[in-house]
Structure 1
Amino acid sequence: MMNVTVAEIGAPPAPVLLQGLWDGVRLGQRQLLLSPYLPACCAFLTHVALCAPFLLLDALGSVSLRVQSWRIAAGSGPPPSLVQWLECFWRVLFKYASTVLPATALVQLLRSPDLPERAPSCWTLSLEVAACFLLFDFFFFSWHYCIHRVPWLYRRVHRMHHQHHIPFAMAAQDASSAELLSLLLLALLSARLLSCHPLSEAVFHLLNSWLAVEDHCGYDLPFAVHKLLPGMGGAPHHMSHHKRQNINYAPYFTHWDRLFGTYRASA
């Protein structure tokens, strides 16, 4: 029997494009989709791929005045070197291979995979992705607030991430193994609690990776997401958190920080 989510009630039929895309992936890559290693591998590879444009920007930062004008911390020294990027890359890779990959694989093996025949409509996909971001933003804010306010948690889980007072793109996942695992599980939990279609979940994880990288990139780009959508903090918002640590706990939106009095506008 075909499962129908609440979001699909009254929604238009799935577009041919999404249905064709989903059929191609579901039938052609079924074993890959059911692999317990998929979430961790996709999270790491997507992160590395999305960091590449910012590595180029850092390389251009020493010769391009336009790129220099986009840097938030322009007066705090040059962009990170290639050596710093590589050191960060190897640290993240080790933590994924040693902890995140086996732990998330175990979680995936314990749940029942679901590959529905029908693709979501564009409306359903958009609604599910938006709902995932709102729920994940709440989970992240709550967890992030706790690990800053509880000294033991900060030392054991989060302090490693704050070695970067001026973060850069690759540093978005330069954290302890416990923190990396917790954030990936929160993202998976958000999609699972909302019973999202696998295609919606994939789009959510892709955009989530991009926003995390953009938040840490160190650039206030003219086409950044926070300049296109209201209510989002972006890289300046998160840079303020890395500098002061007791403000701007939410990852993307600003409403939870405003509600709890921890919001500070970026300078």
Structure 2
Amino acid sequence: MSTSRYLSTEALSWLLDLGNVTSALLPEGSLLQPLWDHLQQHHHHLMRSPLFPVALSISTYFLLVGLYTGLDLLAPSWPSVNGYKLHPHKAVTWVGVRTTLRVTFYNHLLYMFPATLAQWLWRPDTPLPRDAPTLWEFLLGILGCTLLFDFQYYLWHLLHHRVPWLYRTFHAVHHQYNRPFSLVTQYMSGWELFTVGFWATVDPMLLGCHCLTTWGFMVFNIYVSTEDHCGYDFPWAMHRLMPLGLWGGSPKHDLHHQRPGTNFAPFFSHWDWLAGTDSSATDVSESTGDVFSRL
């Protein structure tokens, strides 16, 4: 046997051995398979319940707003945190916390609880596939759902600002705070909360996502929605991690609450760029300077 042929045979044997080791460590070739197997083994009945997505969404939301609200109340005496606030001289008060919580609980009891009850009574248990999605399927599924939700909400949001009756009847509640904090995320009319929740639920179905991907998107959607309203500009925020200014984040949405005719997209920036509804802090400072120059 020639030297080159011998080396080729050895290399092929080494690759086959490596493949066998990888398959043993990662069942079905998916990085998520061990996690999925663990969840199925220990939480099978919980995950099959139609109530599980609702419980996951609500618990994720209140966990996040609880953390941000704690920071809000501590920030005035905690300079290292207060320095990251978009409006460091405007403190979040207990009155604001109570008001936003009251509306949030009211909407959940009046709208979300009946919808949850109907889902529990009439929706069948969630089928759990044996195989987990691949890591690429998981990430691309979340990206696809986020892009679709972003497009839907941009059109819905634009319509509710351009049609006065829709704005007065449904969306004006959300704009009572021109400098939002995390609890303003769901400080909205019941109609708005229902439609946003409807898209977040239906979009993974439209894209045929694995249930693990669906739950991942729900958690991510709540995380970035809360971050948009948090009133902070932390170094790890999504708009700082995303290149080329593709993600609006809390600074852009904070500007939307000050200039309601701009920055309608909830997450990405491309629809506002294309439609000419984009606004930045520079635009606000320039327009403020023009006002002062005319006084």
TM-score if structure 2 supplies the norm length? 0.79
Correspondence for 1:7? none
Correspondence for 2:291? none
Alignment of 1:141-220 (within 5 A): 141-220=154-233
Deviations for 1:89-110, whole angstroms, at most 9, x for unmatched residues?
2321221122123225535735
Task: Select the residue among 103, 107, 128 that pairs with 1:95.
Answer: 107
Q: 1:16 to 1:131 in 2, by over 3 A?
A: closer
Deviations for 1:211-262, whole angstroms, at most 9, x for unmatched residues?
0111001111122111011200110000010111110000010000111110
Correspondence for 2:9? none
CA contact (8 A) 1:44 1:93 kept: no
CA distance in 1, matches of 2:117, 2:58: 14
CA contact (8 A) 1:212 1:251 kept: yes
CA distance in 1, matches of 2:141, 2:117: 24
Correspondence for 1:31? 45
Q: Work out whether 1:22 is the aligned partner of 2:19.
A: no
Deviations for 1:160-204, whole angstroms, at most 9, x for unmatched residues?
111111110011011111111100111112111101111111111
Correspondence for 1:6? none
Task: Select the residue among 77, 87, 91 that pairs with 1:79.
Answer: 91
Deviations for 1:120-161, whole angstroms, at most 9, x for unmatched residues?
111111111111111111111111111111122112221111
Which amino acid in the other structure matches residue 190 of structure 2?
S
User: Which protein has the bigger helix share?
Assistant: 2
CA distance in 1, matches of 2:162, 2:124: 33
CA distance in 1, matches of 2:239, 2:281: 12
TM-score if structure 1 supplies the norm length? 0.87
CA distance in 1, matches of 2:165, 2:45: 41
Correspondence for 1:43? 57
CA distance in 2, matches of 1:15, 1:50: 33
Task: Indicate the SS of the match to 1:171.
Answer: helix
Task: Indicate the SS of the match to 1:29.
Answer: helix
Q: State which drifts further: 105-114 or 237-246.
A: 105-114
How many positions carry a matched residue from both structures? Answer: 254
Correspondence for 1:65? 79
Q: 1:112 to 1:146 in 2, by over 3 A?
A: farther
Which amino acid in the other structure matches residue 257 of structure 2?
H
CA distance in 1, matches of 2:277, 2:119: 34
Structure 2 residues not aligned, in runs of 5+ = 1-25, 283-295
CA distance in 1, matches of 2:41, 2:31: 15
Correspondence for 2:277? 262
CA contact (8 A) 1:40 1:101 kept: no
CA contact (8 A) 1:249 1:262 kept: yes
CA distance in 1, matches of 2:40, 2:79: 47
CA contact (8 A) 1:140 1:250 kept: yes
Correspondence for 2:22? none
CA distance in 1, matches of 2:99, 2:54: 20
Q: State which drifts further: 101-110 or 188-197.
A: 101-110
Structure 1 residues not aligned, in runs of 5+ = 1-11
Task: Select the residue among 69, 88, 94 that pairs with 1:55.
Answer: 69
CA distance in 1, matches of 2:248, 2:133: 29
